[in-house]
Amino acid sequence: MYTGDKAPGFILKNTDGKDTSLSDLIEEKTLVLFFFPLAFSDVCTKELCTVRDNMKMYNSLNANVTGISVDSFFVLNAFKKAENFNFTLLSDFNKKVSRQYDSFYERYFDMDGVSKRSVFVIDKEGVIRFRQTLDDSGQLPDFPRVLKCLQNLR
């Protein structure tokens, strides 16, 4: 999967257990899609708190922000409440979407199948305009490059 490719469609459960599709997320806005390994882990919490703290910027650029991990929607609900996240979290519990987006660790600290830390910017037509997949889960996405991509799509 590369920049310029059509983003694979999906339907995943949000933190309320309701189905959410890619088409729902890009209906009127550009989508910034963050895959992250595990709720409540240090780096994932830091990443998503950075996103939370910059939501005014994302909103000003007409961007919809969504996070995806393989955690259950019950765990993601607790994570969202604990950290006061002001954006959608989706459960890829069955690990299909992480694989579709080439954002998947087969083995991660003795666990089978965890989302790789990745970020995608997907335009309203469903085309990937920016992609970054990190092999080192201790790194954070390149937030300035995400911002630059969003500014260029305005």
49 is catalytic: no
Element (H, E) at 47: helix 42-53
User: Where do we find the tokens 């993601």?
Assistant: 76
Which of 32, 38, 44, 146 is an active site residue? 44
Q: State both tokens at 61.
A: 């650029």
Phi-psi region of 85 (alpha: psi -120 to 50; beta: other; left: phi over 0): beta
Q: State both tokens at 110.
A: 């003795």
Phi-psi region of 111 (alpha: psi -120 to 50; beta: other; left: phi over 0): beta
Catalytic residues: 44
